């Protein structure tokens, strides 16, 4: 307390302790002094600056494993193997048993082999101190997967230390063009052996299918035929043939065949080729040509004439 008329100042100490975990910054405090009867009252604003504690830098983890690959991005068709050759370098002074793992899209297959023992599949490999081992990371996408870029991750772990390597598989389309007769495609109709009449058009329905995973484009058709024959394709071009999943996906082309007039009856071969930008296919069509009806009646007439002539000769000889 202060005595009346006391001129010597009285010192009061203010202490503040921040709670644990308080953030750094400026904090405002109000100090107040008053007499017992509150006849006299004074206030004082005090600003306290709390300094944030500096975080101790995290201790750097020693890089035990180092992963290297010459070709981190590979391109192949769906259903084919993508093979990455990966170098695992042990940078420590102790031997390490390294566990192997791969992160791949759903439905894909992945396995590991030693570089020179491709028939042996492994899940870990021992790498001696300050030395290197090479392994093969083989990844296979399912057949029919869409074209595109797919990210992959190779993971190597030794104890608590883990190293990763980002890779990429670029899947291209597959193309497999085929030709079928109506009987092969629908179970009824023409086979690859048909009959035709000389000088008359014969229409053969040819079916196209694509057992690949991507469309075959710009299909054109060609025929190797006997001399004097005419072969026409309707249409003569197919812009795109998508992968064949159902019968509705089959393409159809009319092959219009016209043997020449007076063609000798018999069997003839026509080689049909379908050629697209990505694939081609061929088939052999056998055409059996028979004589026209007119020639048939002419043949009958000739036989009747010959029989009549012989009969007349025998009659005359018999009279003699």
pLDDT in tens, 100-125: 999 999 999 999 999 888 889 999 99
Number of structural domains (the chain) is: 3
User: 42-46, 215-219, 281-285 — which is least confidently predicted?
Assistant: 42-46
- 273's CB contacts (< 8 A; 6+ apart) are 221, 222, 223, 224, 280, 281, 282
Residue 235 forms part of a structural domain = yes
Residue 112 forms part of a structural domain = yes
What pLDDT digit, counting tens, does each position of 250-281 carry? Answer: 999 999 999 999 899 999 999 999 999 999 99
Residue 167 forms part of a structural domain = yes
Does 153 share its domain with 237?
no
User: 45-49, 79-83, 153-157, 291-295 — which is least confidently predicted?
Assistant: 291-295
Does 149 share its domain with 47?
no
25 or 255, greater pLDDT: 255
Residue 300 has pLDDT above 70, yes or no: no
- From start to end of 51-201, where are the E strands? 65-69, 73-77, 82-90, 96-103, 109-114, 124-127, 132-140, 148-158, 161-172, 177-180, 193-197
Average pLDDT value over all residues in the chain: 87
Q: What is the distance between the alpha carbons of residues 74 and 140, in angstroms, rounded to a whole number?
A: 12
**Residue closest to 67 by CA, chosen among 107, 96, 45, 40:** 96
Q: Which of 150, 172, 194 is the last residue of a domain?
A: 172
Q: What is the distance between the alpha carbons of residues 104 and 110, in angstroms, rounded to a whole number?
A: 7
Residue with tokens 């009252």: 41
Which ranges in the chain belong to alpha helices (H)?
182-186, 293-319
Residue with tokens 């980002």: 166
CA distances (Å), origin 140, targets 12, 109, 193, 215, 272: 80, 5, 42, 21, 36
Domain of residue 71: give its range.
Answer: 65-172
């Amino acid at each position: 307390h202060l005595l009346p008329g006391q001129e010597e100042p009285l010192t009061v100490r203010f202490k503040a302790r921040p709670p644990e975990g308080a953030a750094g910054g400026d904090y405002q405090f109000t100090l107040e002094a008053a007499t017992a009867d509150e006849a006299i009252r004074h206030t004082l604003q005090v600003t306290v600056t709390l300094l944030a504690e500096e975080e101790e830098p995290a201790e750097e983890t020693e890089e035990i494993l180092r992963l290297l690959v010459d070709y981190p991005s590979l391109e192949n068709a769906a259903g084919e193997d993508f093979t990455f050759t990966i170098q695992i370098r042990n940078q420590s002074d102790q031997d390490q048993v390294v566990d192997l793992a791969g992160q791949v899209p759903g439905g894909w297959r992945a396995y590991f082999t030693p570089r020179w023992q491709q028939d042996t599949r492994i899940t870990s490999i021992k790498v001696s101190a300050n030395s290197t081992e090479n392994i093969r990371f083989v990844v296979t996408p399912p057949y029919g997967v869409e074209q595109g870029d797919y990210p992959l991750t190779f993971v190597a772990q030794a104890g608590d230390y883990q190293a990763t390597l980002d890779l990429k598989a670029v899947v291209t389309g597959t193309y497999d063009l085929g030709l079928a007769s109506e009987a092969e495609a629908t179970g009824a109709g023409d086979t690859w052996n048909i009959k035709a009449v000389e000088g008359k058009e014969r229409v053969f329905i040819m079916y196209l299918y694509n057992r690949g995973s991507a469309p075959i484009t710009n299909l054109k058709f060609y025929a190797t035929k006997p001399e004097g024959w005419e072969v026409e394709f309707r249409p003569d071009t197919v812009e795109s043939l998508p992968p064949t999943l159902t019968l509705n996906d089959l393409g159809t082309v009319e092959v219009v065949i016209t043997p020449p007039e007076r063609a000798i009856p018999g069997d003839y071969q026509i080689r049909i080729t379908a050629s697209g930008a990505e694939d081609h296919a061929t088939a052999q069509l056998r055409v059996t040509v028979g004589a026209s009806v007119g020639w048939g009646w002419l043949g009958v007439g000739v036989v009747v004439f010959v029989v009549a002539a012989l009969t007349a000769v025998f009659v005359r000889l018999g009279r003699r």
